[in-house]
Structure 1
Amino acid sequence: MGYRLREDELRQLFEMWNRDYVVYGPKCMAGEGMYSDTDVVRYERLKGFEELEWEKKSAYSFKEAILPITQILFYFTEGEVKEAEPERRKPALLFMRSCDIHALKRLDTVYLDNRFEDSYYARLRKGLRLVLLGCSESCDNGFCVSMGTNRTEEYDAAMNIKTVDGQVQAELTGSMDGLDAWLDGLGAGKTETAPDFVSENLVKVRIPEECGPEHVKAGLWKDYDSRCIGCGRCNFVCPTCTCFTMQDIFYQDNGRAGERRRVHASCMVDGYTDVAGGGCYRNSKGERMRFKVLHKISDFKKQFGYQMCVGCGRCDDICPEYISFSACVNRLADMGNAEKEVR
């Protein structure tokens, strides 16, 4: 059992949520797109329902809300180190698609369950409430069905939003504390409802059963030496990429005082694998592509039991060279099938 809400009731619901939470969701940023006079959808703080972009997939993932692009860890002087205050003190509420909720599980695995807990991530993750945005149809480049991330039950509330006869309506269900009592008090109509989930994508991906030496040494990786320009956009929009680099910033008025930051990094950009003495582990673009792809579909699974990639398709959307991650994975699968036929 759930509730049917009109647009005015949705606005009141957002007002209530904003009193208790910092609300984040996909928002259309006018004039801030990749090219001049273009818009972009990315996660930002939402002050009201009218700011929620519920029809288009966000170009950038949700992770900026709990894993800031630039995060100050601590300040230092000649004789003192002081940990930075949390970026927010109130709990957060996050509007997410099913694939992104699965991506959050990947972030939790890396930052909370991987040998030790990352306290900076944990304090922003604590108290997080998830509102599932139902998907009534597939996005262009998504392949969540192939990755098994098109459905989820890991949410606090779920919302299907539609326009009916020119009027915005929503169906809401969930188990958030106090939500039912508030909606009953609002007089919202009750209805039988369930979240919308995509059952088929235009893009279909076949994951190799096992990636071995033949996949590592495959000639296809050389194709990306000339195609990839090493911009790293595929990593920066990915909801499951977790790598960062460290920066020490020294203040001009006192060269012995400053701050340490961690900043999102990319395995596809120059300098990522540089080591002392001038060495570089993966100098060519093809080698970097190999590392990224095999980590997403094989190496992570060997360690944690499931693929890292959730099939959101953002990497395919953003690449200026039209390199397709999904097409690359299918090429690897075809290699395995060809080898079986030879045997």
Structure 2
Amino acid sequence: MLSNLLNFSGGPGALPVSVLEQTRQAIIALPETGLSVLGMSHRSDWFKALLQEAQDNIRVLLGVPERYHILFLQGGSSLQFSMIPMNFAHRAAVPAEFVSSGYWSRKAVTEAAPVVPVRTVWDGYDEGFRRLPDWASLEHHPEAPFLHYISNETVEGLQFRDAPLPGPVPLIADMSSDFLSRPFDIGRYAMVYAHAQKNLGPAGVTLALIDDAMLSRIPGGLPPMLDYRTHVKHGSNYNTPPVFSIYVLNLVSRWLRDEIGGVDAIEQINARKAAALYGALERHVNLFEIHAEPEARSLMNVAFRLRDPALHDGFLAESRAAGFSGLEGHRSIGGLRASLYNAVGEPAVARLTELLDDFAARHG
């Protein structure tokens, strides 16, 4: 039988056990209200307090200054791929700039292109998305409306170690798969966003942090639902928001704050998990191939494959029989992938390394 504790899915990802337990109770009745969270009004005082606490927790965990608006949106990153250029580049004199480092950043370029002119400043497609660029090597137009990149590519297992230094071009990052997994300097960014189904909670809510200075760049005449100023004005409560998803997101933020000890602590845990798994794969290089080059390897998503494709189905069958789930690679590149999101514990990673060692002993 598959186990929640051995869920290595790329998304929706694993949730902490204590969060699952609280969520189960809340579906029946919230302790504070006696009503199911699934039936709580988004106009209630309870939900207003929930939104405020969720914002406060994010500010504390990441040290977010008050000049950044924290929004709870819908539509996932896919909607942001169109909404960002619509808001921030609609009347720009030069193209919006993108780094195309993997499947999802390539999709961001594709989604933005029908909205505004775009320019790809770096593209790893021809190399199979196995490495990342050096920020200093990229050439930017100083009047570009923004530079967009994805901090962690879930499909190929690539992760930027840092962001470029602040410059004249506003920096926007999709951090969907490594948000809250490590500290970062929010002051380098004009906007950061992340959909929830990796480290934040279940699908349905997208978190956005937007510097107030960016709001003046938004043109008039946008549909209200697609205008970030609408959501700022209404406090993320313009239309019926995903109450359940925001509730679970808030539970996850409490778990990270109170049980783990914050973002610095989870970064250390995540580094140990990734080191253990990459170490196991490198012990058996005759059997397994890691997709990403070493300096670009992600701490969140480890993409790899069996060098002998004939062993692929057998490995997955053994993993499922042992209780593992989510180890299939993304459909675009195949192979295998283990996602080490915050809620995946070190004991689960140890179990996975044991599976790899055992499989290698019999097939290596």
Please indicate, yes or no, whether the TM-score normalized by the shorter chain is above 0.5. no
Larger radius of gyration: 1
Higher relative contact order (CA 8 A, sep 6+): 2
- Greater share of helix: 2
TM-score (norm 2): 0.26
Q: Could you tell me the TM-score, scaled by structure 1's length?
A: 0.27
Higher strand fraction: Structure 1 or Structure 2? 1
